[in-house]
Amino acid sequence: MLEVRELRYFLEVALTGNITKAAHHLHVTQPCLSRAIKDLEGKLGQRLIKRRSHSVELTAEGALFVERARAIIELVGHTEREFQTLSQQIAGQVNICAAETRAFSLVASVIAAIQAEHPQVVFNLESGNYEQTMVRLDQGIYDFGLVVEPFAQLEHFEVLTLPVHDTWHVLLPQGHPLCRKAAITPEDLIGEPLLMSSQELASGAAAGLRRWFGPRFAELKIVDTFNLLYNATLLVEQGIGLLPALSGIINTTGNAKLCERPLEPPLTARVYLIWGRHRTLAPAAQLFLARLQDLVAHAS
């Protein structure tokens, strides 16, 4: 059976690339650390590191196990924090993996209200697309995910529909001829260099932009892909391409380098909070969910 101690030892070796340094950081002897790594390799039946004269190198199996070990350590830490707060006042950490969306303002208002009443509650936020969110929820690392259409079926999750719609726009460099238009049509973008979300490209035929472009989607000239919107806007500023994106995430007001135009016909997307169907939430997470549900109910 794997031990958390062994996983922490292995991650330190992977981080430092050196047994001696890792042993020093862990406050253990080098022989003790080497023996722990050998024991771990024996349990897994795989060689995780290659030993060099003054360093170590991860094998392919070792590189894969780094991700697994990190996820396990995070889950152990999250579980420890949950149980430490069960018999106390409402406290602890609520973990949320969220898409970039204006709807997060609703989540932010709930966070502000909770922390004003319960200062021992802290929130750990991570930006992530749909696939990243699903993985973290499946692993039990995160309590909630905030996802934006399009996505696959959510039959394994509880779902709360938020009372907002995101709207797709196009970000363009100032001075581009399309900035003179009130709205952008699919035909306007055919032949233009485009920056596209890697998630949007991987979402299949049901994806929002694919439906909006229709059969002409195959004609698009996609020059770069991204998963962080802010970084992509810097490429737009350099004139590399045009960027279809959800409106309101990047503030273009007063920006001398960018202009923003809506799509025609309009394209909108719903936003959902999701969490594990059979997951038992800690008190702080339960409070967050109850407050957000109440906010949604009053907005309906």
Instruction: For the chain, 300 residues long, give each residue's pLDDT as a single digit of tens.
Output: 788 888 888 888 888 888 888 888 888 888 888 888 898 889 889 998 888 877 888 999 988 988 888 888 888 887 776 676 555 568 889 999 988 888 899 999 999 999 998 999 999 998 877 777 777 788 788 999 998 876 656 677 899 999 988 899 999 999 999 999 999 999 999 999 999 987 666 654 446 788 899 888 889 999 999 877 889 999 999 999 999 998 888 888 777 899 999 999 999 988 999 998 878 898 999 999 999 999 998 886
Same domain, 159 and 274: yes
Same domain, 157 and 189: no
Same domain, 220 and 291: no
Same domain, 224 and 149: no
Q: What is the CATH number of the domain that holds 64?
A: 1.10.10.10
- Per-residue H/E/C for the chain: CCCHHHHHHHHHHHHHCCHHHHHHHHCCCHHHHHHHHHHHHHHHCCCCEEECCCCEEECHHHHHHHHHHHHHHHHHHHHHHHHHCCCCCCCEEEEEEECCCCCHHHHHHHHHHHHHHCCCEEEEEEECCHHHHHHHHHCCCCCEEEEECCCCCCCCEEEEEEEEEEEEEEEEECCCHHHHCCCECHHHHCCCEEEEEHHHHHCCCCCHHHHHHHHHHHHCEEEEEECCHHHHHHHHHCCCCEEEEECCCCCCCCCCCEEEEEECCCCEEEEEEEEECCCCCCHHHHHHHHHHHHHHHHHC
- How many structural domains is the chain composed of? 3
Same domain, 127 and 253: no
Same domain, 16 and 40: yes
Same domain, 62 and 117: no
Domain that holds residue 11: 4-82
Whether this model's pTM surpasses 0.95: no
